Structure 1
Amino acid sequence: MIDLTLYDPFEKMQFSDKNCFLCGTIITPDHRTPVFAEWLQQKYGLKNKELLLLDKSVTTFDQLTIPCCDRCHTHYLLPLEAKVEEAAAKGIEGMRALEAQELFQWIGKMYYGTLVTELIKETSPLIMPQYAVSEDPLMLGKFRAFFQVLQSLRVPMVFSDFLPCSLFLLEIDPAEDELPFEYQDELTTMSFSIKIGTVAVVCTLLDNGIIRSAMGRLYQLTQGKALHPIQLAEFKARVFYAAYIFNVVPEYFVRPVKPEDDHLVLDTLIDDITNEIFNPWEMLAYAHMLEEMLKPWNIREQEILKNPRQPLSFLLDEENNFKEMKHYQKP
């Protein structure tokens, strides 16, 4: 008998080391699973690398673990990580061969694992964060909706004509790439990027593919191209900024379950009547985002906005065609 019951930790704010993050089962503090899989840590030497959390405490990749029961760890997380590890070993084609829902689950687990860590730590923070996640009803509503669809990790689930995210797969030219592993996330805008070897996965969660549609032409131009790392940085800036101005929160509805059903079917609704899907694009705000992504190259806002009508771009030329780039030379 397949259990199709969804777990909702947000109802009672049930975030502690005593409950499995995925199913809510009561566990001991020893039951943990890494947010970033063991294979990632070993392949890219991440174990002792530091991470700064919202409350200003510092952890490392190997210390960043979340409460997880043996069943969820063994039956759901390990098989998914094994699939992604095998796909990643084959490069961009291997990652493209993964089902989109599997990529969503893989990214979602890392994103949500970081979020759960923040929610647990907010009960006794080192330094109270400026904006406590647990005190923002709008953000909690978004996270609750996201966790509903993330449970496709555990509960067989079909999304009806949508995917709860925008996924971008990009190939990176290794010639001037000094970072075999790189990751960034933004909790409030639900943006995430991870680079493993010559493959980058950029994702915006909980947008039902709208940002991918909005960036369709640019994404199409990158396909079949090996991007210079600075071009990847610009692509991430565009995606992360699109998530920043994204202005709606999808709702998800589970169709009534019949006794013979072996999976849930989810429908979605976005209120685009009372809310604009995107807030206005502000060039200065985008320049701030791009400047942040271009820090390794020390490119500042004034250089980005030298021509305010056409900000600095490494991806597109003046005619908005793809700009081939093998080497970066600072002017």
Structure 2
Amino acid sequence: MASPAPKTSAKAAKKAAAKRGAAKADMDRPGRQHSLYALSERIYSGKRCFYCGQLLRGSHTREHVFPLWLQKRFGMANQCLTLLNGTQIPYRQLTVPCCPTCNNVHLSKLEKRVRSLLFESPIAEARRDLKDIYIWANKILLGIVYAERLLPLNRRYPRGRAILPREMHDMFNMTHFLIQGLRFPIRFTAEGEERIPGSAFLFDLKSPRNQELQFDFKDNLFGLSVSLRLGNRGIVTLSDGGAIDLSVGDLLRRDGKRKLHPIQFDELAAKAFYKATLLNRTPKYIMTEFNGAVEVMQMPLMGLSSKPVFDDWNQTAYAHMLSVLTGYPVERLKPDDTDRVMTFISDAEGNPVNIPLGRSANRSPTMNKANRRGNSKKATMSTIKRRCAALTRG
């Protein structure tokens, strides 16, 4: 009597496989690699360009997720990134398939612009051109995601399940589409004005002398949040439809007007990361295409609901996020049952705190190599658990 179940399961699997095959065939039709067709089902394959999705025929290249110039500048080639399954991979080995056009034209030009903005331009000028920085940070994040979809969950079974489950694919589709502006024009508007399709912040930081302590990377897949510390520059981006910028952007920019100690930067990133987990809206869009250019209008996040866009802030939950990003134990950041959480930004009277980058600062958790995402199993596993927990919620 139980025999029909396997048949039904096999039939469903066959139907799903046929659907994926049709989607692949549709994507490979002439013209399907451009504009709104890029919203088709995202196909993760070692035979496709991670950026444009084109089927790789003949010669193709590998794109370093963290570009070689960045690895050289911060001496990180032999450092490791911890993946979602807890395994580690050297930055120099973290690559994804890429077509020659995307690698040598679109992404190469982006790298040059971002490198100039971050390290050759005044920070005020770079802050006026956050679009490229936003695309660049998300290109890195989606590159990691692509690699995690191709790499096996268990290295002993290379043909087994991938690190990133198939059911998580859809959550990245829209962000991947919105960073395609390197290939064709995309104009994005929200709340009645043209803007980037998310939140992006750039901070001026104090940089330690030790090259290996100048770089740090953290992410959270809920909200597609990225934190990058690059010497004297700190980047925080969130694919949230601009909700964080509209809500607390002015406060983050106020606290970031001065030169920040790395731990102060981590605190601001923690606030943005945690705020993103409270967003209870899914951005909706109206998209049109004309002559190869795409117009994307984001509908008001508030919509027709009277419910606030963000859920209530919880200091205990925030303390856990702050612990993940700073390396300090939760018990030290929130030592009692009150709503008080340690801050490195201001003193008890609300005055800005200046933390010198001296010998003692280099011994603090955020300045210690063992607390970098790629080198601290304890810290990174906390990040992984938070990422996975957030994903199950979404």
Cα distance, 1:156–1:256 mapped onto 2, change above 3 Å: closer
Which residue in the other structure is 1:281 paired with? Answer: 313
* CA drift at 1:114: 0.8
Which residue in the other structure is 1:293 paired with? Answer: 325
Which residue in the other structure is 1:211 paired with? Answer: 244
Cα distance, 1:55–1:216 mapped onto 2, change above 3 Å: closer
Which residue in the other structure is 2:103 paired with? Answer: 73
Partners of 2:261 and 2:355 within 8 A in 1: yes
- Distance in structure 2 (CA, Å) of the matches to 1:134 and 1:276: 32
Which residue in the other structure is 1:163 paired with? Answer: 196
Aligned length: 317
Any stretches of 5+ residues in structure 1 without a counterpart? Answer: none
Which residue in the other structure is 1:303 paired with? Answer: 332
- Distance in structure 2 (CA, Å) of the matches to 1:37 and 1:7: 28
Question: What is the CA deviation profile of residues 233-287 of structure 1, one whole-angstrom value per residue up to 9, with x for unaligned ones?
Answer: 2111111111122222212332242xxx352211112553446421221111111
The one-letter code of the counterpart of 2:111 is: E
One of 77, 94, 99 as aligned partner of 1:47: 77
Cα distance, 1:322–1:213 mapped onto 2, change above 3 Å: farther
- Cα RMSD for the two superposed structures: 2.9
One of 202, 206, 229 as aligned partner of 2:236: 202
* CA drift at 1:146: 0.9
Which residue in the other structure is 1:34 paired with? Answer: 64
* CA drift at 1:317: 2.7
Partners of 1:91 and 1:199 within 8 A in 2: no
| Greater percentage in helix | 2
Partners of 2:278 and 2:313 within 8 A in 1: yes
Question: What SS class does the counterpart of residue 33 from structure 1 fall into?
Answer: strand
- Distance in structure 1 (CA, Å) of the matches to 2:171 and 2:283: 8
Question: What is the CA deviation profile of residues 81-134 of structure 1, one whole-angstrom value per residue up to 9, with x for unaligned ones?
Answer: 011122222265276256222111111110110111122236x65388899542
The one-letter code of the counterpart of 1:142 is: M
Which residue in the other structure is 1:233 paired with? Answer: 266
Which residue in the other structure is 2:254 paired with? Answer: 221
Partners of 1:157 and 1:264 within 8 A in 2: yes
| 53-62 vs 75-84, which moves further | 53-62
* CA drift at 1:312: 0.9
One of 96, 114, 118 as aligned partner of 2:144: 114
The one-letter code of the counterpart of 1:184 is: K
Question: What is the CA deviation profile of residues 157-206 of structure 1, one whole-angstrom value per residue up to 9, with x for unaligned ones?
Answer: 1112232111111111236887211111122331101111111011112x
**1:135 counterpart = 2:167:** yes
Cα distance, 1:246–1:88 mapped onto 2, change above 3 Å: same
Which residue in the other structure is 1:187 paired with? Answer: 221
Which residue in the other structure is 2:52 paired with? Answer: 23
* CA drift at 1:37: 1.0
| 84-93 vs 68-77, which moves further | 84-93
One of 133, 154, 166 as aligned partner of 1:103: 133
TM-score, length-scaled by structure 2: 0.72
Partners of 1:165 and 1:203 within 8 A in 2: yes
| 126-135 vs 65-74, which moves further | 126-135
Cα distance, 1:72–1:133 mapped onto 2, change above 3 Å: same
* CA drift at 1:52: 1.8
Cα distance, 1:182–1:16 mapped onto 2, change above 3 Å: same
Partners of 1:241 and 1:289 within 8 A in 2: yes
Partners of 2:110 and 2:136 within 8 A in 1: yes
Any stretches of 5+ residues in structure 2 without a counterpart? Answer: 1-30, 365-394
* CA drift at 1:288: 0.8
Which residue in the other structure is 1:88 paired with? Answer: 118
- Identity, % of aligned positions: 27
* CA drift at 1:223: 3.8
Cα distance, 1:149–1:175 mapped onto 2, change above 3 Å: closer
Cα distance, 1:97–1:227 mapped onto 2, change above 3 Å: closer
| 233-242 vs 209-218, which moves further | 209-218
| 186-195 vs 69-78, which moves further | 186-195
Cα distance, 1:216–1:101 mapped onto 2, change above 3 Å: closer
Cα distance, 1:81–1:219 mapped onto 2, change above 3 Å: same
Question: What SS class does the counterpart of residue 35 from structure 2 fall into?
Answer: coil
- Distance in structure 2 (CA, Å) of the matches to 1:91 and 1:36: 21
